[in-house]
Structure 1
Amino acid sequence: MTGINDTHLIRHAVVGDTTFVLLGTAHVSPESVADVRREIDAGTYDALAIELCDTRYNAMTDPKALEKLDLFEILRQGKAGMVMASLALGAYQQRLAQQFDIRPGAELEAAATGAKRLGLPLWLIDREIGTTLKRVYRNVPWWQRYSIFTGLISSLLSRTEVSSEDIERLKQGDMLESTFSEFAAGSASLYTPLIDERDQFMAARLLEAQQTAENGPPKRVLAVVGAGHLEGLERSLSEGLAEPAATRAELERIPKPARWPKLLPWIVVAIILVGFGIGFSRGTDLGLQLVLDWVLINGALCAFGVALARAHPVTVIGSFFAAPLTSLNPTVGAGMVAGGIELAMRRPRVADFRELREAVADWRGWWRNRVARTLLVFLFASIGSAAGTYLAGFRIFGQLV
Structure 2
Amino acid sequence: MSLTDIDDSLPSVLRDQPIERVTRDGVEYVVLGTAHVSRTSVEAVDAILAHEAFDAVAVELCDSRAQGMRDPEAFKQMDLFQVIRQGKAGMVAASLVLSSFQKRLAEQYGIQPGAEMKAGMDGAEQRGVPVWLVDREVGTTLRRAWHSVGLWQRFGLMGGLIASVFERQQIEETEIEKLKQGDMLESAFSEFATHSAPLYRSLIAERDAYMAARLREQSAAAGFGEGRRVLVVIGAGHLKGLCELLRTQQTDPSSEAALLAAAPPKSSWPKWVAVGLVLAVFVAIGFAFYRSPSLGAAALRDWVVYTGGFSLLGAILAGAHPLSALAAFVAGPIKPFRPGIPSGGISAMVEAWVRRPRVADFETLRDDIGQWRGWWRNRVARTLLNFFLVSFGTIIGEYTAGIHIFKSLF
Corresponding residue SS for 1:131: helix
1:96/1:162 contact within 8 Å kept = no
Distance 2:295 2:58 in 1: 68
- The equivalent residue for 1:237 is 246
- The equivalent residue for 2:6 is none
Q: 1:159 aligns with which of 149, 153, 166?
A: 166
Letter in 2 for 1:13: V
How high is the TM-score relative to the length of structure 2? 0.89
Query: Is the alpha carbon distance of 1:96 and 1:193 closer, same or farther for their aligned partners in structure 2, counting shifts above 3 Å?
Result: same
Q: CA RMSD in A?
A: 2.5
2:25/2:225 contact within 8 Å kept = no
Distance 2:214 2:73 in 1: 28
Query: Is the alpha carbon distance of 1:362 and 1:249 closer, same or farther for their aligned partners in structure 2, counting shifts above 3 Å?
Result: same
Q: What's the offset of the Cα at 1:269?
A: 1.6
Distance 2:393 2:42 in 1: 46
Query: Is the alpha carbon distance of 1:46 and 1:6 closer, same or farther for their aligned partners in structure 2, counting shifts above 3 Å?
Result: closer
1:20/1:221 contact within 8 Å kept = yes
Q: What's the offset of the Cα at 1:264?
A: 1.9
Letter in 2 for 1:20: Y
Q: 2:179 aligns with which of 159, 169, 172?
A: 172
2:14/2:48 contact within 8 Å kept = no
1:266/1:330 contact within 8 Å kept = no
Corresponding residue SS for 1:104: coil
Which structure 1 segments of 5+ residues have no match? 175-179
Does 1:12 find its partner at 2:21? yes
Q: What's the offset of the Cα at 1:146?
A: 3.1
Does 1:246 find its partner at 2:250? no
- The equivalent residue for 2:71 is 62
Superposed, 1:72-91 pairs within 5 Å as: 72-91=81-100
1:210/1:218 contact within 8 Å kept = no
2:23/2:29 contact within 8 Å kept = yes
Distance 2:194 2:71 in 1: 32
Corresponding residue SS for 1:21: strand
Q: 1:357 aligns with which of 366, 376, 380?
A: 366
Query: Is the alpha carbon distance of 1:207 and 1:228 closer, same or farther for their aligned partners in structure 2, counting shifts above 3 Å?
Result: same
- The equivalent residue for 1:95 is 104
Superposed, 1:362-373 pairs within 5 Å as: 362-373=371-382
Q: 1:42 aligns with which of 51, 55, 80?
A: 51
Does 1:287 find its partner at 2:293? no
Q: What's the offset of the Cα at 1:209?
A: 0.9
Distance 1:64 1:203 in 2: 31
- The equivalent residue for 1:272 is 281
- The equivalent residue for 1:177 is none
Query: Is the alpha carbon distance of 1:151 and 1:289 closer, same or farther for their aligned partners in structure 2, counting shifts above 3 Å?
Result: farther
Distance 2:15 2:349 in 1: 49
1:47/1:120 contact within 8 Å kept = yes
Corresponding residue SS for 1:41: helix
Letter in 1 for 2:361: D
Corresponding residue SS for 1:8: coil
- The equivalent residue for 2:3 is none
1:96/1:104 contact within 8 Å kept = yes
1:18/1:220 contact within 8 Å kept = yes
2:38/2:177 contact within 8 Å kept = no
1:265/1:330 contact within 8 Å kept = no
Distance 2:381 2:174 in 1: 27
- The equivalent residue for 2:200 is 191
Across the two proteins, how many residue pairs are aligned to each other?
Answer: 392
Distance 2:48 2:386 in 1: 47
Letter in 2 for 1:18: V
Q: What's the offset of the Cα at 1:148?
A: 2.3
- The equivalent residue for 1:33 is 42
Q: What's the offset of the Cα at 1:186?
A: 4.0
Seq. identity, %? 44
Q: What's the offset of the Cα at 1:60?
A: 0.8
| 1:227-252 deviation digits (Å, cap 9, x = unpaired) | 11110111011123331111111111
Q: What's the offset of the Cα at 1:7?
A: 6.8
- The equivalent residue for 2:332 is 323
- The equivalent residue for 2:113 is 104
Query: Is the alpha carbon distance of 1:314 and 1:200 closer, same or farther for their aligned partners in structure 2, counting shifts above 3 Å?
Result: same
Q: What's the offset of the Cα at 1:140?
A: 1.4
Distance 2:376 2:116 in 1: 32
Q: What's the offset of the Cα at 1:80?
A: 0.8
- The equivalent residue for 1:123 is 132
Query: Is the alpha carbon distance of 1:90 and 1:276 closer, same or farther for their aligned partners in structure 2, counting shifts above 3 Å?
Result: same
Task: Judge which range, 291-300 or 44-53, deviates more.
Answer: 291-300
Q: What's the offset of the Cα at 1:218?
A: 6.4
Letter in 1 for 2:60: E
1:7/1:29 contact within 8 Å kept = no
Query: Is the alpha carbon distance of 1:63 and 1:149 closer, same or farther for their aligned partners in structure 2, counting shifts above 3 Å?
Result: closer
Q: What's the offset of the Cα at 1:4?
A: 5.9
